Amino acid sequence: MVAEISHPLSKYLREAMMPHIWCSGCGNGIILNCFVQAVDELQIDLKKLVVVSGIGCIGRAAGYINTDSFHTTHGRPIAFATGVKLANPDLEVVVISGDGDLFAIGGNHFIHAARRNIGIKVICANNFNYGMTGGQQGPTTLLEAFTTTTPYGNIEHPFNLVHLAAASGATYVARWTTLHVRRLTQSIKKMLQKEGFNFIEVVSPCPEIFGRRNRMRTGLQMMEWFKKASIIEHFSDPAKADITPERIVVGEFVDIEKPCYEKLLYDKMAQILT
Amino acid sequence: MPEGFILQRLLTRMSVLYAVFVRLFAQILQFLLLKNHVKKDVNEMKTENNRTVLTGTHFMNGDIACAEGALAAGCKFFAGYPITPATEIAEHLSKRMPEVGGIYIQMEDEIGSIAAVIGASYTGLKAMTATSGPGFSLMQENIGLAVMTEAPCVIVDIMRGGPSTGQPTLPGQQDIMQAKWGSHGDYEIIALAPSSVQEMFDLTIEAFNLSETYRVPTMVLADEVVGHMWEKVVIPPAEKIRIVNRKKPNTSPEKYLPYMPDDDLVPPMACFGEGFSFHATGLTHDEHGYPKTSSSGVQQKLVKRLCEKIRKNADKIVKVREFMVDDAEVIVVAYGIVARAALSAVKEARKTGIKAGLLRPITIWPFPEKLIAKIAEQAKKIVVPEMNCGQLVREVERNVQGTSVVFLSKLGEDPHTPMEILEAIRRNC
């Protein structure tokens, strides 16, 4: 008899929810792995951790993590998380969602939460398209990329997410690809330990839906693109960090201190009550 | 200058200095104590203080009475977005919430407002938002989320004239059907219609109680006149106010099934941070809260329960006010501000010997079907005045077989006058 061996991180997952819905070659599993690794290394009390997600492939991550979790409507995880964080500022509130959810339909909530500097940690899986609905053009689709709704090549300029986050007031902004597993984990750890609105963009492969229409049919081919194109440049100008087929600037872009919203709110309340 | 006077002034100055010093010391102490303990002072602040229920007789408008009703009900979270004619609710709560250790936040839009309200509700606070037609439309998708995840919350809609931007400063009753059917899918909600400033206070408390009892979004459907009208409001002592809090699970986190209902079809509710580690989703889900999107069995079980927890409890929820209905041959069915004019009209009609009566639904949803059916058996005519093109009148018609229903529409101006309703009574007696 062989003793049953479980994965050291399996306690962080709801095994009843497995198997997951993600395609082979998808980067979401890597992102989830890096997140629970960071939570494990920091020994965060799971009872004090709330994971919120929106709609999309990565939106299912909230359900897979064994904490209090909420799978909201499309685009609204940050607004929902705002209610959670203010109702109990002692909770660590993490939003894990996709580029379409956070920056198209939910863009308004993102910029205003960043402006307020509310203590929500946002991890965005950027796969350049709407994966769950079958691969439509999204706010991060690269120029000239093919999707099911840009059959002649995309003519919309994509968002530069790190620039948007920095300009909106986020106190920590980083970008990694799923190739940078250790750096991403360290970055998540840093973000979880820091006050205020913090943001990490994770460029993630989507070979089944996006890649196969853009000459990257396998996860390996997409990772090879990340390897070839990514350059680590810490604290470079986020305005110049547009993602192109030739260049993906990764690293930390912003790491500043600014009073967070919940602290200001409760300080103000304390003043009023005395 | 007499010596005594100089001494007195000196003492006064010293006492002022002393007071300044004491205050400064207290502030430094507070800063040091609270610096790294955000939650500590939250807990302290969340304890009831004597500013929560403003017991006494007041003169206030409906919006403010609604805000005070929310506080009296134990509401500790408000998220909203400015919109006429509901803005005063937000303005008042921005001042009052900090006084009672509650949270006020102005969100970037109404979609965010209702999302934040659901988040706060899931984190254990009684939560509310307030809006008018356009904002109410924006909230509809997340009202569906609140229905599906059974998040107790109160949504106040101070109705104005629509569609679209319509008439922001004029009253309307055009959101009656939107309140019931605005979100997609099958569901039931509760909606109450106040017709006085006192009722804005009372029914907001009732809305919280119902919402907590049935874990369902509950709406206060007021109109611009009730929202902006100034009247006397009596706020009773806190101990005289009936407050209902959601059922909590009395099981261990390992055994807790977040969507397993009790006999009343309502599941006990754990909150985030309490150690239950549960999942909530807008997807069709089983008792664990796990998505089950391709099972017709799970979908039927869940959606039918969401409807039936309200339908089967309708007798407990529904409230109406009747005036001289017993022997009435012409019965006016009116709600909100229109019911006040209807009451005057019925009284005038009685003076001239017409057997008129008034039935005022306080609960709009679930609709008082049985009561309407009952009065229809005795009445020859039912008159329904509404500030819309015919909304609740459809529900009346649906429930009265054989009795003719007269609809009295009014749009884009002040509500019906008593004379207009009296005319209709006379024509139909």
Rounded to the nearest angstrom, the gap between the alpha carbon of residue A42 and the centroid of all alpha carbons in its chain is 19
CB contact, 8 Å: A46 with chain B? Answer: yes
Q: Which stretches within B149-279 are classed as H helix?
A: 176-181, 197-214, 224-228
Give first-to-last CA distance, chain B, whole Å. Answer: 88
Per-chain mean pLDDT for chain B? 92
State yes or no: pLDDT of B27 exceeds 90: no
Residue B169 burial (CB count, 10 A): 10
pLDDT attached to residue B40: 41
Is the domain of B374 the same as that of B420? Answer: yes
Closest Cα in chain B, distance from residue A180 (Å): 30
- Give the phi and the psi of residue B281 in degrees, each rounded to 5: -150, 150
Closest Cα in chain A, distance from residue B170 (Å): 30
Is the domain of B152 the same as that of B67? Answer: yes
Asked if the structure places residue B160 within a domain, the reply is yes
CB contact, 8 Å: A71 with chain B? Answer: yes
Find the mean pLDDT for residues B322-327: 97
Give the domain CATH number at B417: 3.40.50.920
Burial of B164 (0-12, 13-18, 19+ CB in 10 A): exposed
Asked if the structure places residue B13 within a domain, the reply is yes
State yes or no: pLDDT of B7 exceeds 80: no
pLDDT attached to residue A6: 84
Render pLDDT for B201-210 as a digit per residue (tens, 0 to 9): 999 999 999 9
pLDDT attached to residue A33: 97
AA letter at B2: P
User: B17 lies in which domain range?
Assistant: 3-36
* Residue keyed to tokens 């999942």: B279
Asked if the structure places residue B363 within a domain, the reply is yes
pLDDT attached to residue B15: 55
Asked if the structure places residue B280 within a domain, the reply is no
pLDDT tens, per residue, chain A with 274 residues: 667 788 889 999 999 999 999 999 999 999 999 999 999 999 999 999 999 999 999 999 999 999 999 999 999 999 999 999 999 999 999 999 999 999 999 999 999 999 999 999 999 999 999 999 999 999 999 999 999 999 999 999 999 999 999 999 999 999 999 999 999 999 999 999 999 999 999 999 999 999 999 999 999 999 999 999 999 999 999 999 999 999 999 999 999 999 999 999 999 999 998 7
Find the mean pLDDT for residues B385-414: 96
Total domains, chain B: 3
Render pLDDT for B225-258 as a digit per residue (tens, 0 to 9): 999 999 999 999 999 999 999 999 999 999 999 9
pLDDT attached to residue B34: 44
* Residue keyed to tokens 């201190």: A257
Is the domain of B28 the same as that of B60? Answer: no
Find the mean pLDDT for residues B162-178: 97
Nearest chain A residue to B125 by CA: give it. Answer: A87
Q: Which among B45, B124, B281 has the least Cβ separation from residue A71?
A: B281
Q: Under a CB-based contact definition with an 8 Å cutoff, are residues B296 and B328 in contact?
A: no
Asked if the structure places residue B273 within a domain, the reply is no
Is the domain of B134 the same as that of B176? Answer: yes
Is the domain of B79 the same as that of B171? Answer: yes
Burial of B308 (0-12, 13-18, 19+ CB in 10 A): middle
Residue A236 to residue A249: CA distance in whole angstroms: 9
State yes or no: pLDDT of B117 exceeds 60: yes
Is the domain of B78 the same as that of B198? Answer: yes
Asked if the structure places residue B44 within a domain, the reply is no
Percentage of residues in chain B having pLDDT higher than 70: 89
pLDDT attached to residue B194: 98
What letters, b where the CB count within 10 A reaches 16 and e where it falls short, cover A46-81?
A: bbbbbbbbbbbbbbbbbbbbbbbbbbbbbbbbbbbb
pLDDT attached to residue B42: 46
Q: Which among A50, A67, A87 has the least Cβ separation from residue B125?
A: A87
Question: How far lies A179's CA from each of A8, A34, A207, A224, B291, in Å?
Answer: 22, 11, 14, 9, 30
pLDDT attached to residue B3: 53
Is the domain of B13 the same as that of B88? Answer: no
ipTM over 0.90: yes
Is the domain of B215 the same as that of B182? Answer: yes
Q: State which of B177, B211, B240 marks the end of a domain.
A: B240
Nearest 5°: CA angle at B183, between B126 and B193?
Answer: 60
Q: Under a CB-based contact definition with an 8 Å cutoff, are residues B119 and B149 in contact?
A: no
Nearest chain A residue to B112 by CA: give it. Answer: A79
Q: State which of B203, B224, B240 marks the end of a domain.
A: B240
Asked if the structure places residue B295 within a domain, the reply is no
Radius of gyration of chain B (CA): 25
- Following DSSP, what letter does each residue of B221-254 receive, concatenated? EEEHHHHH-EEEEEEPPGGGS----PPPP-S-TT
Find the mean pLDDT for residues B77-98: 98
Coil/strand/helix, residue B324: coil
State yes or no: pLDDT of B44 exceeds 90: no
Is the domain of B31 the same as that of B60? Answer: no
pLDDT attached to residue A3: 74
Q: Which tokens hold the place of B70?
A: 């929310």
Which long-range contacts link A214-223 to residues 24+ away (Cβ below 8 Å)? A214/A145, A214/A146, A218/A25, A219/A24, A219/A25, A219/A26, A219/A27, A220/A25, A222/A25, A223/A177, A223/A178, A223/A179
* Contacts A267 to B, Cβ<8 Å: 34
Q: State which of B193, B214, B240 marks the end of a domain.
A: B240
Is the domain of B213 the same as that of B354? Answer: no
Is the domain of B80 the same as that of B15? Answer: no
Determine whether the interchain pair B115/A270 forms a contact, defined as Cβ–Cβ distance below 8 Å: no
Is the domain of B73 the same as that of B20? Answer: no
Determine whether the interchain pair B272/A274 forms a contact, defined as Cβ–Cβ distance below 8 Å: no
Determine whether the interchain pair A273/B98 forms a contact, defined as Cβ–Cβ distance below 8 Å: yes
Provide CB contacts within 8 A for B200, sequence distance 6+. B62, B63, B65, B66, B69, B194, B220, B222, B226, B227, B233
CB contact, 8 Å: A11 with chain B? Answer: no
Asked if the structure places residue B208 within a domain, the reply is yes
- All structural domains of chain A, each given as residue ranges with its CATH number in brackets, are 31-204+230-273 (3.40.50.970)
* Contacts B103 to A, Cβ<8 Å: 86-87, 265
Find the mean pLDDT for residues B414-427: 97
